[in-house]
Amino acid sequence: MAKKTKKQSQKNHKFLFWLIPLIAIVLLVLWSVGAYNSLVRTDEAVNKAWGNIQSTYQRRADLIPNLIETVKGYKEYEQETLEKIVKLRSEAGQAKIGVDKATSPKQLESAMGSLDSVLSRLLVVVERYPDLKASQNFLALQDELAGTENRINVARQRYNDAVRQYNIKTRRFPTNIIAGIFGFEKKEMFKAQEGAETVPKVKF
């Protein structure tokens, strides 16, 4: 009887010897799956926010060529001015391609900088024609452009919030182990530029 009890006890010890590591492995696998899925969710949240911000930038990129076309339709100016406007239209088209192809905040800001340059030079042309500035089409585009500036600001903030949450997960232990294994890398935020504390004003 004592021998049987001893044998049973040894069997139980052997069973526990294998069971505990097995449970630990199962728990580790479940945690790894959960951590991976969590990283995927935050990564997709960043992608969604990026899509939203790019669409607001693209909207602005579309408005500027439309603005140029409105100016181009104005008939009371000399040939030299028309040539400048045609050149600006071409430059705006090239800058818009840059916005469409941008894959990072830095690239997007660079493309929008080119469009800002086109817009500022267009305004210099427009200043010479007060009647044009009073045009209904021109005023409507002015309002849309000003509204888009606000949308861009909101979209950038939401993107940065999503990136912040994602970056925290990729750096926080122990999730950073899973992030490292599966290649979840830190993402770039939009950074405040010089003078960013001033709300952009669109003046015509």
Preceding omega of 130 cis (within 30 degrees of 0): no
Residue range(s) defining the domain that contains residue 69: 11-182
pLDDT in tens, the chain (204 residues): 555 565 566 666 666 667 778 888 888 889 999 999 999 999 999 999 999 998 888 888 888 888 888 888 877 777 888 888 888 988 888 888 888 888 888 888 888 888 888 888 888 888 888 777 777 788 888 888 888 888 988 999 999 999 999 999 999 998 999 999 999 999 999 876 554 444 444 443
Within a domain: 196 = no
Within a domain: 193 = no
What pLDDT is attached to residue 16?
65
> What pTM value is reported for the model?
0.74
Within a domain: 46 = yes
Within a domain: 175 = yes
Number of domains comprising the chain: 1
Residue 150, domain CATH: 1.20.1440.20
| C-alpha closest to that of 154 among 62, 59, 43 | 59
For residue 63, which phi and psi values (nearest 5 degrees)?
-65, -40
Within a domain: 69 = yes
Within a domain: 71 = yes
Within a domain: 189 = no
What pLDDT is attached to residue 62?
87
Within a domain: 197 = no
Sign of the Cα pseudo-torsion (71, 58, 150, 103, in order): negative
Cα first-last separation, the chain:
102
